[in-house]
């Protein structure tokens, strides 16, 4: 009989859980708790049990009745609540907005720098810094850009004094690091650079660059391609293709302009990229004259360097069409990142 | 450089459409920015990098195309019929350093007139206006070969002589375009017996130019030092086709070639007789570069397996003379037009360029190297996370600022700001010594766009002049914060920002003794202004912006600003974490509120409690400041919580009460504090 009680309990609980209307509830009450209900019937059977079982069964039956009654009352209340949805009293409007703690935003250029830095950090590149107000030597001579050479025109520069300037490229950091450190070197140097350009949608007299440098024995142009391909796929997506085009920078040889397939149109050509390709950085093997300037043995070591414009990359990545937005600091812009 | 598609085809048979040609050139490092269709031709706008002046002539481009497409290069004819007459003209090169090579040919009895239509068409295709046959020919040969030429009306040259010399102070020249240039010895000129008749390599003078009436011509073809031409072109802001090429360096072997080419064309199109002799000064000095290329080095640098035959073929096609040398090397003679090639690495680049960068295998097999993040990077990253987490947004502003007085805010320097000599806008020439002024401008920018309650920070460099002999300024990383919030109680915002700064210091594990004290900076309201020192050294300032400056910047409220020496923060930060065991026994907590004079600071109370030497005092926590009802004027009530704890047992209530009492007595006797 004990087993029977357990079965009844489980069955009653189950049925109560599935109650959908007051009628069903009433039927259930009659079925279990009614005068002719299951429990009453069982109660009536007790006298016919062996004497030693009677008190135990009486107690169990009472417990079961209590249990079902309380569940019945619970179901009744729930049913009533359900039936008066427009009832008065405080009800939570869960569609009201939650109270959000304020969250600030990192500047998109900083985020871009951090993302790029992290990818190169995975390849063993360490962050390095250098001064923004720089000696002419580091910005030009040490980088194999002689005085009175037309290539200086490509790096138009703000001057403070004859030999002191605002660096026009982060390549200066290459020299500063190589001067005090021996190979192997893997560094990435983010920072501000300055060129006297009139400000418009694509030009700014101040912008950010990230310079990379790797110098070891046996580093090849193939490695340069490898490192940059890994970067491009990590940053722009695994389907990104890359191509190299010969170019000229005084401090690298061979030099290359690097393009990636447009992430918007997958290289088919669109209004952003035109041809399906986007120029993202300049790179090349470190020129032996640069090694000479820092006292490295150019026969023993080879290396590569690359430099990219952070604004340009952020503009491509986020589809931003005006470089000035980065420096206006309009909260409606910054809060999008 | 503008290149005509049809003109190019005259020297090289290639089977490419104009667009294909553009793509081919771009892939070889000559970016074609535009292909403009003409009536029956195309004009390609080719970007020639500064190391390749040889490609500032159509022939140079043709040589590249021939090398890439493996087609034949056809050089034009340069032979002419020399006459019998000798040259009755003297040339004297005074400064052979600035003019290492000078040639002149004399052509008598020319007939000046319009050029034939083929010549006019060639010039027009690349945007040049035809003038007359002789001038057009000099322009044509310049565009063809990259060697600038100049034709003088010989009869207008005084004393039948040319002197190449530095100008004398006081001399002047009126150039063909009508500009009058006052000359100094810095400038190299071509002079006749009495006066300058051309600025060497830049432009000729109007007095001796070839006109309709010209009969006899002196044809100059020379080589001038790039730097002297560059300086002259800059000085007189005369950038010409000629100066552009001299600045980048012309082919020493091409000087006479171009002269012969022009002489032949003049003879053909303008008649006249070319004199028997040629004046040629300096031609003997040309020395050829011979560079060794080893295949092992080539492949080691590129990470490729290029065959010797391939390398040899590429270099030969580009005009290099290649001879086998040693087991696996070449001895390469560099042609005169490739002044950019003098080292093995230059040859490696040439091979790689034509072989195709995209054909060199990509190699991702790098040795593993792991390096810890640098200290600066770690601290900066963490500070940024904290501030952004607390609701501040990061901004980036310009390092170059204008001369408005907000530069005086700087807490770290009041020296005269460093200035830029060549600013792009007048007045905007200062290097900032503080970030505060820029953050106020950020606030203003947003205020004008109805963005209320700006909470921002910037973490960037400021540039402080140094008194010492260092050439470079002290570049300090500054952390500047601007905070404002809705509400009428300014203290609220003040303590909010102070809390952020303190909280950040604490999260960064700043070591050393921090001391906050009153501060009378120029930018802050006296009543709410403070500075913080770290072991006696200024770490930063914080305060409410002065009313006058609020008005000056046209702001609608006074924000709270702080500027921190972030380099000092990095230096003293400690991001290592040492675990402390959790206490085994509970603490006893007692609150206390005391009434003290306004002059008594919280720091005084903290210090007094700390000095009372209570063994089991764990910490003191401020929680309320109250002035008003029940508190006499000139006084204030400070409420705080005392935490007592013993390491080895639970403190009894009486013990805690006793210590509480002791604190009360001590504050009473030392600071006149009365329990509230
Ligand atoms: Zn696209």
Three-state SS annotation for B16-78: CCHHHHHHHHHHCCCEEEEEEECCCCEEEEEECCCCCHHHHCHHHHHHHHHHHHCCCECCCCC
Residue A302: its chain B contacts at CB < 8 A?
300-301
On chain B, the residues whose CB falls within 8 A of the CB of A159 are: 420-422
Mean pLDDT across A76-90: 70
Residue A85 has pLDDT above 60, yes or no: no
Contacts of A163 in chain B (CB under 8 A): 471
Establish if B349 touches chain A: CB-CB under 8 angstroms.
yes
**Residues A327, A235 share a domain:** yes
Nearest-Cα distance to chain A for B343, in Å, is 9
Extract the tokens encoding B140: 């044509």
* Cα distance between the two ends of chain B: 88
Burial category of A83 from C-beta neighbours within 10 Å (exposed 0-12, middle 13-18, buried 19 and up)? exposed
Domain match, A145 and A259 both: yes
Confidence band for A276, pLDDT divided at 50, 70 and 90: confident
Region B95-111: mean pLDDT is 95
Residue contact B361–A222, C-beta within 8 A? yes
Q: Is B472 within 8 Å of A302 when comparing Cβ atoms?
A: no
- DSSP state for residue B557 in the 8-state scheme: S
CA of A228 to the centre of ligand 1 (A): 20
Look up the domain containing A211 and give its range: 108-334
CATH number at residue A122: 3.30.930.10
pTM: predicted TM-score of the whole model, two decimal places:
0.85
- Smallest CA–CA distance from A301 into chain B, residue: B301
Are the C-beta atoms of A248 and A129 separated by less than 8 Å?
A: no
Contact call for B371 and A126, based on CB within 8 A:
yes
B452 in reach of chain A (CB within 8 A): no
Q: What is the pLDDT, as a whole number, of residue B164?
A: 96
For residue B361, the chain A residue with the least C-alpha distance is A222
A–B: how many Cβ contacts below 8 A?
A: 228
Residues of chain A found within 8 Å of residue B353, distances taken between Cβ atoms: 246, 254
Considering the domain B290-356, what is its CATH architecture? Answer: 2-Layer Sandwich (3.30)
The whole-angstrom distance between B422's CA and the closest CA on chain A is: 6
**Whole-angstrom distance, CA of residue B651 vs CA of residue B586:** 8
User: B2-69 — its CATH code?
Assistant: 3.30.56.10
Which pLDDT does position B202 carry in this prediction?
A: 96
Q: What is the B524 CA–ligand 1 centroid distance (Å)?
A: 51
Predicted pLDDT at B285: 65
Flag the least confident range among A186-190, A270-274, B660-664: A270-274
Q: B interface mutation test: which of A228, A306, A314, A329 has the most B CBs within 10 A?
A: A329
Distance CA A266, CA B67 (A): 32
Distance CA A291, CA A294 (A): 5
Does residue A112 share a domain with residue A73?
A: no
Listed residues A39, A68, A83: the one ending a domain: A83
From the candidates A188, A198, A254, A320, which should be mutated to test the interface with B, based on the most B CB atoms within 10 A?
A254
Check if B2-69 and B290-356 are the same fold.
yes
For residue A34, the model assigns a pLDDT of 85
Q: How far is B522 from chain A (nearest CA, A)?
A: 26
| CATH annotation of B375-572 | 3.30.930.10
- Lowest mean pLDDT segment, chosen from A268-277, B22-31, B418-427: A268-277
Averaged over A65-71, what is the pLDDT? 86
Task: Decide if B567 touches A, using CB distance below 8 A.
Answer: no
- Tell me, yes or no, if B521 comes closer than 8 A to chain A by beta carbon: no
Is residue A17 over pLDDT 60? yes
Supply the pLDDT for residue A86. 60
Of A160, A198, A222, the CB nearest to B360: A222
B149-153, B433-437, B467-471 — which is least confidently predicted? B467-471
The 10s digit of each residue's pLDDT in A277-335 is 999 999 999 999 999 999 999 999 999 999 999 999 999 889 899 999 999 999 999 99
Q: Which residue has the higher pLDDT, B45 or A83?
A: B45
The predicted pLDDT at position B235 comes to: 92
Look at residue A87 and tell me whether its pLDDT is greater than 60: no
Cα B311 to Cα A226, B318, B547, distances in angstroms = 23, 11, 74
Residue A10 domain flag: yes
Share of chain B above pLDDT 90, in %: 86
pLDDT at A80 over 80: no
Is A225–B393 a contact, with Cβ atoms under 8 angstroms apart?
no
Determine, for residues B300 and A205 on separate chains, whether the beta-carbon distance falls below 8 Å: no
Least confident of B467-476, B487-496, B546-555: B487-496
**Distance from residue A263's CA to the centre of ligand 1 (Å):** 6
Same domain, A253 and A136: yes
CB contact under 8 A, A285 and B381: no
Residue A100 lies inside a defined structural domain of this protein: no
B31 Cα: distance to centroid of ligand 1 (angstroms): 19
Looking at the structure of chain A, the number of domains it has is: 2
| Chain segment A93-143, per-residue pLDDT in tens | 888 889 888 899 999 999 999 999 999 999 999 999 999 999 999 999 999
Instruction: For chain B, give the percent of residues with pLDDT over 70.
Output: 99
pLDDT band of B406, cuts 50, 70, 90: low
Best mutation target, A99, A100, A101, A104, to test chain B (most B CBs within 10 A):
A104
Mean pLDDT value across residues B362-386 = 93
A77 and A117 housed in the same domain: no
Q: Are residues A71 and A145 in the same domain?
A: no
On chain A, the residues whose CB falls within 8 A of the CB of B422 are 158-159, 196
pLDDT of residue B602: 93
Q: For residue B253, what are the CA distances in angstroms to B12, B75, B392?
A: 21, 15, 66
Which of B27, B29, B374 is nearest residue A126 as measured by Cβ atoms?
B374
Q: Is B348 on the interface with A (CB under 8 A)?
A: yes
pLDDT of B190 higher than 90? yes
State mean pLDDT over B256-261: 96
Q: Where do the domains of chain B lie? A: 2-69, 90-285, 290-356, 375-572, 588-675
User: Which pLDDT tens digit goes with each residue over A186-229?
Assistant: 999 999 999 999 999 999 999 999 999 999 999 999 999 999 99
CATH topology of domain B90-285: Phenylalanyl-tRNA Synthetase; Chain B, domain 3 (3.50.40)
User: How high does pLDDT run on average in chain A?
Assistant: 90
Q: Determine the distance separating the centroid of ligand 1 and the alpha carbon of A257, expressed in angstroms.
A: 18
Tell whether A72 and A194 lie within a shared domain. no
The shortest C-alpha distance from A95 to chain B (Å) reads 25
Say if A311 falls within a structural domain: yes
Residue B10: is its pLDDT beyond 90? yes
Sheet of strand B329-333: strand arrangement: B290-294, B329-333, B321-325
- Residues of chain B by 3-state class (helix, strand, coil), percent to 5: 35, 25, 40
How far apart are alpha carbons B646 and B584 in whole angstroms? 9
Check CB contact of B496 with chain A, cutoff 8 Å. Answer: no
Verify whether the Cβ–Cβ distance A133 to B348 is below 8 Å. Answer: no
Instruction: Name the pLDDT band for B676 (thresholds 50, 70, 90).
Output: confident
Cβ pair A329:B345 closer than 8 A: no
B463 at interface of A, judged by CB pairs closer than 8 A:
yes
Q: Is residue A92 part of a domain?
A: no
Report the separation in Å between the CA atom of A278 and the middle of ligand 1, taken as the mean of its atom positions. Answer: 8
Mean pLDDT of B363-381: 92
Check CB contact under 8 Å for A192 and B461: yes
* Nearest residue, CB atoms, B422 vs list A104, A131, A196: A196
CATH class of segment(s) B588-675: alpha beta
Is-contact B33 B47, C-beta < 8 A?
Answer: yes
Q: Is residue A96 part of a domain?
A: no
Give the number of other Cβ atoms within 10 Å of residue A47's Cβ.
Answer: 8
pLDDT for position B407: 63
A39/A143 same-domain check:
no
Whether pLDDT at B659 is above 70: yes
Name the nearest CA neighbour of A223 among A205, A206, A208, A244. Answer: A244
- A123 contacts B366? CB cut-off 8 A: yes
* Domain identity same for A206 and A314: yes
Q: Which residues of B104-138 are buried (b: 16+ CB within 10 A; e: fewer)?
A: bbbbeebebeebeeebbbbbbbbebebbbbbbbbb
The H or E element containing residue B497 is: helix B490-507
| Residue A144 confidence (pLDDT) | 92
| pLDDT for the residue numbered A159 | 94
- The C-alpha of B320 sits at a distance from chain A's nearest C-alpha, in angstroms, of 18
Name every chain A residue with its beta carbon within 8 A of the beta carbon of B361.
222, 225
Q: How far is the CA of A312 from the centre of ligand 1 (A)?
A: 15
Residues A319, A227, single domain; the answer is yes
Average pLDDT, chain B: 93
How far away, in angstroms, is A123 Cα from ligand 1 center?
Answer: 28
Residue A98, domain member (yes or no)? no
CB A215 within 8 Å of CB A178: yes
Contact B348 A164 (CB under 8 A): no
Return the structure tokens found at B387. Answer: 């501030």
Averaged over B280-305, what is the pLDDT? 91
CB spacing of B50 vs A154 below 8 angstroms: yes
Q: Do A75 and A141 reside in the same domain of the chain?
A: no
The answer for B 88-117 residues in CB contact with A (under 8 A) is none
Close Cβ partners of B16 (under 8 Å, ≥ 6 residues apart): B24, B65, B69
Chain B positions in Cβ-Cβ contact with residue A131 (cut-off 8 Å): 472, 475
**DSSP per-residue letters across A144-187:** T--TT-GGGGGG---EEETTEEE-SSTTHHHHHHHHH-PSSEEE
B52 touches A at CB < 8 Å: yes
Q: What is the mean pLDDT of residues B586-601?
A: 94
**B358 part of contact set with chain A, CB < 8 Å:** yes
Nearest CA to B407 among B463, B324, B359, B452? B463
Question: Are the Cβ atoms of A135 and B360 closer than 8 angstroms?
Answer: no
Residues A168 and A213 in one domain: yes
């Amino acid at each position: 009989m004990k087993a029977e009680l357990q079965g009844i309990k489980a069955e009653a609980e189950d049925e109560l859980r599935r109650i959908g209307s007051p009628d069903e509830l009433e039927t259930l009450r009659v079925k279990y708790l009614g005068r002719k209900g299951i429990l009453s019937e069982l109660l009536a059977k007790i006298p016919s049990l062996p004497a030693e079982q009677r008190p135990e069964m009486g107690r169990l039956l009472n417990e079961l009745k209590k249990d079902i009654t309380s569940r019945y009352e619970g179901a009744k209340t729930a049913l009533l609540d359900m039936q008066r949805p427009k009832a008065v009293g405080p009800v939570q409007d869960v569609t009201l907005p939650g109270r959000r703690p304020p969250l600030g935003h990192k500047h998109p250029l900083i985020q871009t720098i951090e993302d790029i830095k992290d990818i190169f950090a995975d390849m063993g590149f360490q962050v390095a810094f250098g001064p923004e107000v720089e000696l002419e030597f580091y910005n030009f001579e040490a980088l194999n850009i002689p005085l009175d050479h037309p290539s200086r025109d490509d790096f138009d520069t703000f001057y403070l004094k004859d030999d002191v300037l605002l660096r026009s490229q982060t390549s200066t950091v290459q020299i500063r690091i190589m001067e005090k450190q021996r190979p192997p070197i893997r560094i990435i140097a983010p920072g501000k650079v300055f060129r006297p350009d009139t400000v418009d949608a694509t030009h700014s007299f101040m912008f950010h660059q990230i310079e990379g440098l790797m110098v070891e024995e046996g580093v090849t142009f193939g490695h340069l391609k490898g490192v940059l391909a890994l970067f491009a796929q990590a940053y722009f997506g695994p389907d990104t293709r890359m191509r190299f085009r010969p170019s000229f920078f005084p401090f690298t040889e061979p030099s290359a302009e690097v393009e990636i397939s447009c992430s918007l149109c997958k290289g088919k050509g669109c209004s952003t990229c035109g041809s399906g390709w986007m120029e993202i950085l300049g790179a090349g093997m470190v020129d032996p004259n640069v090694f000479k300037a820092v006292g490295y043995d150019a026969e023993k070591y080879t290396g590569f360097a690359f430099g990219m414009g952070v604004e340009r990359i952020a503009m491509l990545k986020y589809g931003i069409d005006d470089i000035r937005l980065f420096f206006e600091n309009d909260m409606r812009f910054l809060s999008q990142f | 450089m503008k290149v005509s598609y049809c003109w190019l085809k005259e020297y090289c048979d290639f089977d490419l459409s104009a667009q294909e040609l553009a793509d081919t050139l771009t892939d070889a490092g000559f970016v074609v920015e535009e292909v403009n269709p003409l009536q029956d031709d195309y004009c390609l706008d080719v970007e020639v990098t500064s190391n390749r002046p040889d490609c500032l002539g159509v022939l140079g481009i043709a040589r590249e195309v021939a090398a890439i497409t493996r087609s034949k290069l056809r050089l034009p004819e340069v032979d002419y019929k020399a006459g019998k007459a000798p040259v009755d003209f003297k040339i004297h090169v005074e400064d052979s350093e600035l003019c290492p090579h000078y040639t002149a040919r004399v052509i008598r009895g020319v007939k000046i007139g319009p050029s034939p239509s083929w010549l006019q068409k060639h010039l027009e295709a690349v945007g040049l206006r035809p003038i007359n046959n002789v001038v057009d020919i000099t322009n044509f040969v310049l565009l063809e070969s990259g060697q600038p030429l100049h034709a003088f009306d010989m009869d207008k040259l005084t004393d039948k002589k040319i002197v190449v010399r530095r100008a004398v102070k006081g001399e002047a020249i009126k150039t063909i375009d009508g500009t009058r240039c006052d000359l100094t010895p810095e400038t190299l000129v071509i002079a006749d017996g009495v006066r300058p008749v051309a600025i060497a390599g830049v432009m000729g003078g109007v007095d001796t130019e070839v006109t309709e009436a010209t009969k006899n011509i002196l044809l100059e073809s020379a080589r001038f030092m790039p730097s002297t031409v560059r300086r002259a072109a800059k000085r007189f802001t005369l950038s010409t086709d000629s100066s552009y090429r001299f600045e980048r360096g012309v082919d020493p072997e091409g000087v006479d070639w171009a002269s012969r080419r022009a002489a032949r064309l003049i003879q053909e199109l303008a008649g006249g007789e070319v004199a028997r002799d040629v004046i040629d000064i300096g031609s003997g000095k040309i020395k050829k570069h011979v560079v060794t290329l080893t295949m092992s080095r080539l492949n080691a640098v590129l990470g490729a397996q290029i065959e010797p035959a391939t390398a040899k073929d590429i270099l030969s096609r580009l005009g290099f003379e290649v001879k086998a040398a040693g087991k696996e090397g070449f001895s390469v003679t560099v042609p005169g037009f490739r002044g950019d090639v003098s080292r093995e690495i230059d040859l490696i680049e040439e091979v790689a360029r034509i072989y195709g960068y995209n054909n060199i295998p990509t190699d991702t097999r790098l040795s593993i190297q792991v390096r810890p993040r640098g200290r600066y990077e770690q601290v900066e990253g963490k500070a940024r996370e904290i501030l952004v987490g607390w609701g501040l947004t990061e901004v980036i502003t310009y390092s170059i600022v204008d001369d408005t007085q907000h530069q005086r805010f700087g807490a770290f320097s009041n020296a005269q700001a460093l200035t830029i000599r060549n600013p792009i806008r007048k007045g905007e020439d200062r290097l900032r010594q503080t970030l505060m002024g820029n953050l106020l401008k950020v606030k203003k920018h947003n205020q004008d766009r109805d963005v209320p309650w700006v909470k921002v920070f910037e973490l960037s460099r400021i540039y402080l002049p140094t008194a010492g002999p260092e050439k470079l300024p002290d570049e300090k990383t500054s952390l500047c914060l601007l905070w404002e919030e809705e509400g009428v109680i300014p203290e609220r915002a003040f303590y909010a920002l102070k809390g952020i700064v303190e909280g950040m210091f604490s999260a960064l594990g700043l070591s050393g003794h921090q001391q906050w004290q009153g501060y009378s900076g120029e930018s802050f309201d006296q009543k709410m202004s403070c500075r913080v020192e770290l072991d006696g050294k200024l770490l930063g300032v914080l305060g409410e912006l002065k009313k006058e400056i609020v008005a000056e910047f046209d702001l609608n409220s006074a924000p709270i600003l702080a500027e921190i020496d972030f380099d000092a923060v990095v230096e003293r930060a400690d991001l290592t974490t040492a675990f402390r065991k959790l206490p085994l026994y509970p603490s006893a907590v007692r609150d206390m509120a005391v009434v003290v004079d306004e002059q008594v600071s919280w720091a005084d109370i903290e210090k007094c409690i700390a000095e009372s030497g209570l063994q089991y005092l764990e910490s003191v926590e401020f929680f309320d400041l109250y002035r008003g009802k029940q508190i006499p004027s000139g006084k204030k009530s400070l409420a705080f919580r005392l935490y007592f704890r013993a390491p080895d047992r639970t403190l009894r209530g009486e013990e805690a009460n006793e210590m509480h009492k002791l604190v009360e007595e001590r504050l009473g006797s030392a600071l006149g504090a009365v329990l509230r």
